[in-house]
Amino acid sequence: MSTDGKDIIGFLDETIEGNTESREYEMTWGALASFLNDYEHLKGTRGLTQKDIAASCGTTQSAISRLERMRGKPTYELLRRLSEAVGGSLFVSPMADFSITLPYDLHDRARSLAEKKAVRVDELMHAMLREAIDNAEYRDECNGTKFELVICGSESEIPVGQYAHDVLTGGTIVDEAPSAFSLGA
Amino acid sequence: MRFSWYPQFLDPDATAKVQKFIQKDLKKYPDLLSRVRTFLVSVEKVENLDSYYKSGEMAKLEGALHEMRIPPTRRGGVVRIYFCVNPEDSREIMLLDAELKHEKEPGRTDTANRRLKEYLAYLARGKQG
């Protein structure tokens, strides 16, 4: 048994896929595992105990313990109350492939940026994602030419959105213009 | 973060200890297998582990040895993954050992510690050579 150059996530995926029981479990309960991961993180960060959570949810500690062990079938209402008990809010969507949770180490930064811009965190995230995808597409259109931002000596429009504006007003200016950026004529 | 596993740095074809744990022990517990996968996917996305220490999902043990607790507490046993951060690359986690730990048992850190020393010695040799 060697790693064969695989990373651990790939190996775990392969292990789950290769075992009928694990595969069926993952298909049925994978979303709950993901919920519990975020729930435990918030619970630990706020120093809450099962007893605290049970009191907030109006249930027993053993019911919370069972849920945390992924036993039984938690109701929508219980999941909603659990989310609130740890200071969050429940999010459910059939679009898992297109839904992401911001990595934990970015939460404080995102929150403070949103406060600074007087918007909600989700509004900030949507705007940033849109901008990132627009920029990534634009980079592809430039045949993979590597650049940060190109300015051709005029104040003409630069079609890379807010990112361009931010860089223009305080970021790095790189001059090595791919033709697509030869603006301002 | 990126994951490497013992003893990949010594011999890429050698048996990976954490891999063996997954196949031999963890496979029997689909719920924990799922939790471990989800947890590691979330760790892979961060560049800084501080929030995991704050939440109690990771803890510093002796010296450079650390552990992941998946989940932090659970009746019936939890998964402990012993690891260290590459001192030359803070975005690389070296997975040294793993076990299914029950509440009253002490963690099996001696093996992890021995592997940690081996790993650090390997890095030191690289610097000299």
Q: Of the candidates A12, A68, A105, which has its C-beta nearest B40's C-beta? A: A12
Q: Of the candidates A2, A5, A45, which has its C-beta nearest B55's C-beta? A: A45
Q: What is the mean pLDDT of chain A?
A: 81
User: Which CA distances in Å does B126 have to A151, B119, B123?
Assistant: 44, 11, 5
Is the Cβ pair A13, B37 closer than 8 Å? yes
Q: Whole-angstrom Cα distance, residue B85 to residue B66?
A: 8
pTM summary value: 0.81
Q: Is residue A61 over pLDDT 90? A: yes
**B14 φ, ψ to 5°?**
-75, 160
Q: What is the mean pLDDT of chain B?
A: 89
Q: B88 and chain A: CB distance < 8 Å anywhere?
A: no
Contacts of B19 in chain A (CB under 8 A): 1, 3, 8, 11
Residue B128 confidence class, pLDDT cut points 50, 70, 90: low
Q: Is residue B98 over pLDDT 90? A: yes
How many CB pairs (< 8 A) connect A and B?
123
Residue A181 confidence class, pLDDT cut points 50, 70, 90: very low
Q: B21 and chain A: CB distance < 8 Å anywhere?
A: no
Please state the rounded mean pLDDT for residues B15-25.
Answer: 84
Is the Cβ pair A44, B54 closer than 8 Å? yes
Of residues A150, A141, A147, the one with CA closest to residue A183: A150
Contacts of A107 in chain B (CB under 8 A): 51
Q: Is residue A47 over pLDDT 50? A: yes
Q: B90 and chain A: CB distance < 8 Å anywhere?
A: no
Distance (Å) from the C-alpha of residue A58 to the closest C-alpha of chain B? 21
Contact criterion met (CB below 8 Å) for A52 and A84: no
Q: A45 and chain B: CB distance < 8 Å anywhere?
A: yes
Give the angle A78-A82-A88 at the CA atoms, nearest 5°. Answer: 135
The residue among A13, A43, A104 with the most chain B CBs within 10 A of its CB, best to mutate, is: A104
Q: Is residue A84 over pLDDT 50? A: yes
Q: A99 and chain B: CB distance < 8 Å anywhere?
A: no
Enumerate the H helices of chain B as residue ranges: 17-24, 30-45, 50-55, 109-128
- Would you put residue A175 in left (φ > 0), alpha (ψ -120 to 50) or beta? beta
pLDDT given for residue B102 in this prediction: 82
pLDDT given for residue A178 in this prediction: 43
Specify the length of chain B in residues: 129
Is the Cβ pair B31, A22 closer than 8 Å? no
Residue A166 confidence class, pLDDT cut points 50, 70, 90: low
Residue A176 confidence class, pLDDT cut points 50, 70, 90: very low
Q: Is residue A149 over pLDDT 60? A: no
Is the Cβ pair B38, A34 closer than 8 Å? yes
Q: Is residue A98 over pLDDT 80? A: yes
Is the Cβ pair B75, A69 closer than 8 Å? yes
pLDDT given for residue B23 in this prediction: 87
Q: A39 and chain B: CB distance < 8 Å anywhere?
A: no
Q: Whole-angstrom Cα distance, residue B20 to residue A80?
A: 37
Contact criterion met (CB below 8 Å) for B100 and B36: no
Is the Cβ pair A8, B55 closer than 8 Å? no
Contacts of B18 in chain A (CB under 8 A): 8
